[in-house]
């Protein structure tokens, strides 16, 4: 039997990049998967991903839900349970990459980034908890920058993602007695729209890794799947860095 047979997962920001790879990988292990997205331009991609998962024999739903809007996050959890019947794995993945000098960050940008990276995972956890059974999993996608700020202009991004470490450790203690594990996966440079391999400065980024390589979304998804499956049974309250050795 596949490791995640009979389980249901919700992945925020699953239409592209790392989130889409997590959706595919969880489904490959047998899970039914709901995922969110925000951009109208991603609607077709989201539909195609649902069709792909369904063609492989699993159920999937795509939910348009802006992580910056708490009610939308809560509603996405509600739809997951209503349409897929349960919720076992919550993956907080949706993210944006504000880049620039700290003096240039507007009050609006500060609010939006904190809403997407901090408030949304917290709200999703609150909404998911009444449904998560013993053996449930909460997995958040952070960044390797929270251990080492290896470049400039990332203060807002790094500050907002660092909150996930505190949430993860504290919730692991709080939810341990309920048999729910809580962890963060901290990716390094991963080839997605957010961090294109042919983008400006990509060569510098590549050489900053010990292994001389960008990661692929599947590299990050593999660790998420491990945490979600039986191998993650006794891993909780920690962060796993998957960064090709940038932080080494």
Among 189, 209, 224, 228, binds ligand NDP (CB under 6 A): 189
* Candidate segments 55-63, 166-174, 191-199, 223-231, binder of ligand NDP by CB under 6 A: 191-199
Say whether residue 108 binds ligand NDP (CB under 6 A).
no
Q: Which residues, listed in sequence order, are joined to residue 184 by a DSSP beta bridge?
A: 140, 239
* Candidate segments 8-16, 147-155, 165-173, 226-234, binder of ligand NDP by CB under 6 A: 8-16
Say whether residue 23 binds ligand NDP (CB under 6 A).
no
- List, in order, residues 6 or more apart from 141 with CB less than 8 Å away: 18, 19, 91, 92, 93, 95, 184, 185, 186, 187, 220, 224
Residues 86-105 contacting ligand NDP, CB under 6 A? 93-96
C-alpha dist (Å) from residue 232 to 76, 92, 138, 189: 25, 17, 11, 24
- List, in order, residues 6 or more apart from 104 with CB less than 8 Å away: none
State how far the Cα of 24 lies from the Cα of 132, in Å rounded to an integer.
Answer: 21
* Candidate segments 17-25, 52-60, 167-175, 225-233, binder of ligand NDP by CB under 6 A: 17-25
Site string for ligand NDP, 43-82 (x = CB under 6 A): -----------------------xxx--------------
The answer to whether 193 and 183 have CB atoms below 8 angstroms apart is no
The torsion angles phi and psi of 34, rounded to 5 degrees, stand at -100, 145
Say whether residue 116 binds ligand NDP (CB under 6 A).
yes
Say whether residue 153 binds ligand NDP (CB under 6 A).
no
Q: For residue 37, indicate whether it is catalytic.
A: no
Positions that interact with ligand NDP (CB under 6 A): 12-19, 36-39, 42, 66-68, 93-96, 116, 141, 143, 187, 189-190, 192-195
């Amino acid at each position: 039997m596949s490791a995640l047979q009979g389980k249901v997962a919700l992945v925020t920001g699953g239409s592209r990049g790392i989130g889409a790879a997590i959706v595919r990988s969880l489904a490959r292990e047998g899970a039914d998967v709901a995922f969110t997205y925000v951009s109208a331009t991603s609607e077709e991609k989201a539909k195609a991903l649902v069709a792909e998962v369904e063609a492989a024999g699993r159920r999937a739903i795509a939910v348009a839900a802006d992580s910056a809007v708490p009610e939308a996050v809560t509603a996405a959890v509600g739809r997951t349970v209503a349409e897929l019947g349960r919720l076992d794995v919550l993956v907080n993945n949706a993210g944006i990459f504000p880049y620039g000098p700290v003096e240039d960050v507007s009050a609006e940008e500060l609010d939006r980034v904190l809403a997407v990276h901090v408030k949304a995972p917290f709200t999703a956890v609150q909404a998911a908890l009444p449904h998560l059974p013993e053996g449930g999993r909460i997995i958040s996608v952070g960044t390797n920058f929270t251990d080492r700020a290896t470049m400039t202009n990332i203060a807002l991004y790094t500050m907002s993602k660092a909150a996930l470490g505190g949430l993860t450790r504290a919730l692991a203690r709080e939810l341990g007695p309920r048999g729910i594990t809580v962890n963060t996966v901290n990716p390094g440079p991963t080839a997605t729209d957010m961090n294109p391999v042919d983008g400006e400065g990509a060569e510098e980024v590549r050489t900053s890794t010990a292994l001389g390589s960008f990661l692929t979304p599947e590299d990050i998804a593999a660790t998420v799947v491990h945490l979600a499956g039986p191998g993650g049974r006794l891993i909780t309250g920690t962060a796993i860095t998957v960064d090709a050795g940038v932080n080494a």
